[in-house]
Structure 1
């Protein structure tokens, strides 16, 4: 995904090392770890991304 335009949340930490980045690539949304930009990426459909974002916002995926 060399041409992808990656974005971070405005809520990410000041150092930028503790967040994920997302990019809209063709018909999918790609997600990667900002600390390892060359590492693995997860891809989701637009509806899958919306569902994941909704679940995260609701606290469904909180680890604490």
Structure 2
């Protein structure tokens, strides 16, 4: 997915991003999916995930952080 496909979405920065802004991931909610991009390259590519896939990804991350 290219940045031109996502010109009218609102991006929000991850709360896990570093304080100096060098390690930042941004997420945008779409009608039936979520898009993820590197905030250092806002004109670059974005990954698109279905809501179910994103939910599974987040659950897996949380389990990994606890273990």
Q: Report the TM range for the smaller structure's normalisation.
A: 0.7 to 0.9
TM-score normalized with structure 2 length: 0.78
Q: Which runs of 5+ in 2 are unaligned?
A: 1-5
TM-score normalized with structure 1 length: 0.81
Structure richer in helix, relative to its length = 2
Aligned residue pairs total: 60
Superposed CA RMSD = 1.5
Higher relative contact order at CA 8 Å, sep ≥6: structure 1 or structure 2? Answer: 2
Q: Which runs of 5+ in 1 are unaligned?
A: none
Which contiguous aligned blocks of 4+ residues in structure 1 show a shift greater than 2 angstroms? none
